[in-house]
Amino acid sequence: MKKVSARAEWMVALAIVCAVAATPLPAMAADGDNGFLGLDLKGSLGKGRHTRYVPPLTNPLFNETPYITTEARLIYLYNRLPEDFVTDGGYVNVAALQLRVALTERLGFIATEDGYADAHFNKVLDDEDGFSNIAFGFKYAILDDPKSESLLTAGLRYEIPINDLETGGIKLQGDGDGFLNPFITGATTFGKLGLQASLGANIALDGDADTSILHYSLHTDYEVLPGFFPLVELNGFTPIDHGKRLTGALGKLDGVDLLNFGSDDSDTTVTIGGGFRYRFTDNVQIGVGGETPITDKDDSILSYRLYSDLVVSW
């Protein structure tokens, strides 16, 4: 992939925003229910719409819920590095706040990557902490059937390269012009069983500096008690265009979703995760769980992860 200039990058991003803004929209909130500046802030969860909202827990950067919501999601994750990794292990703490705003019943604005990371390495690299990249965009429910609790949503995010995380001369979250992330995500239910799936690509705008990946996720949950949803999730990350920043012995290093080394020979990582969500009220729920690879993790940053989050919706 050829390098894209910064000007071209912003032109692409602006064109996308304009295209989304020009999409024919459903009617705004007509009854004033939770309307603000004419917006339908309830989105998919308004009166007479969907009632079963159980967002994914693992892979929070890419596994986007198909529901159009107005919410704040506070996330903490602990990422343990494998002892066979080049640093002989270590860990990364990440705290982040995701924001989503329903503009209409079907159109939503999302800001789903931000936060602060604190990385500790046992050898080779110095410890580092700083702000992560920022990603924002829009999503639109192209199919929406509240009666069957089913919907299909398409979206697009742009990731701004903050470049605040760097150690040993390696920019940990990429060294190019950012990323475009088109995706599609859907959900349906069968009684107390909920199913969700997503597919997307995180495309580096500078293919020499950063690696582009295909990401895909499956989610299933079951309401065993009122408001209590045990869940199982499967996530995959497959390079589709390698970068050229790290080569040779370091060329296999895989940052999975959290980091991007621009390695020229990284491999697919597939993980399995589990945990639960508990819904205190219609507007407040928590999630707790973990995740580990089921593929080779020698060159990956991921030995296992622990997650917790708090979701407050309006």
Q: Residue 184's pLDDT is what?
A: 98
Whether the per-residue pLDDT at 38 is higher than 80: the answer is no
Q: CA-CA distance, 29 to 45, in Å (whole number)?
A: 13
Residue ranges of E strands in 11-149: 35-36, 39-40, 71-81, 90-102, 107-113, 116-121, 128-131, 134-145
> With pLDDT > 90 as the criterion, what percentage of the chain qualifies?
81
Residue range 142-187, pLDDT digits in tens? 999 999 999 999 999 999 999 899 998 899 999 999 999 999 999 9
Q: Residue 297's pLDDT is what?
A: 85
SS3 231: strand
Q: 6-313 falls under which CATH superfamily?
A: monomeric porin ompg (2.40.160.40)
DSSP annotation of 244 reads S
Cβ atoms of residues 46 and 70 within 8 Å: no
Residue range 106-139, pLDDT digits in tens? 999 999 998 999 999 999 999 999 999 999 999 9
Kindly report the pTM of this predicted structure. Answer: 0.86
Look-up: residue for tokens 């309401």?
A: 223
Q: How confident is the model at residue 285 (pLDDT cuts 50, 70, 90)?
A: very high
Domain ranges across the chain:
6-313
The pair phi, psi for residue 252, each rounded to 5°, is -90, -5
Whether the per-residue pLDDT at 18 is higher than 50: the answer is no
Residue range 200-258, pLDDT digits in tens? 999 999 999 999 999 999 999 999 999 999 999 999 999 999 999 999 988 999 999 99
Helix (H) or strand (E) holding 20: helix 6-21
DSSP-H helix ranges across 186-283: none
Please count the CA atoms within 13 angstroms of the CA of 126 that sit on its side-chain side.
Answer: 9
Complete DSSP assignment for 161-195: -----EETTEETB-SSS-EEEEEEEEEEEETTEEE
